Amino acid sequence: MNVRQRKLEMIEAMNRARALEPSSFVPNKLLDTLIQKLNLKNDAELCRVLEVQPPIISKIRHRKLAVGATILLRMHEKSDLSIKELKDLSNASMH
């Protein structure tokens, strides 16, 4: 088995394990709240305000990337929401 095949198998195993884990991370509520609070139209405008590339917001929205400290601080600075409020939004239950 070559390195590429092992890497692909490892990625598949991690994805299967991730699918089995209960996750409380709900990025859509966080991102949608920011868009609403900042009177933006969409994720593209949010990217410009937060000064991040569109793939970053896309990966966060699709739960492939967690909200890092730098983006969290930018969200706080731009929205005036507290860090705790932002974390609560991203960990809200999905009911």
Please tell me the predicted confidence (pLDDT) of residue 90. Answer: 82
Q: How far apart are CA 23 and CA 30, in angstroms?
A: 15
The answer to pTM > 0.75 is no
Percent of the chain with pLDDT over 90: 45
The structural domains of the chain, with segments of one domain joined by +, span: 26-90
Q: How far apart are CA 24 and CA 47, in angstroms?
A: 24
DSSP 67: -
Q: Could you tell me the pLDDT band of residue 93, with boundaries at 50, 70 and 90?
A: very low
Q: Tens digits of per-residue pLDDT, 10-56?
A: 888 777 666 544 456 778 999 999 999 999 999 999 999 999 999 99
Contact 47, 54 (CB under 8 A): yes
CATH architecture of the domain formed by 26-90? Orthogonal Bundle (1.10)
Contact 52, 78 (CB under 8 A): no
Tokens of 40: 């933006």
**Residue with the larger pLDDT of the pair 38 and 9:** 38
Tokens of 78: 């731009």
Q: Tens digits of per-residue pLDDT, 66-89?
A: 888 899 999 999 999 999 999 888
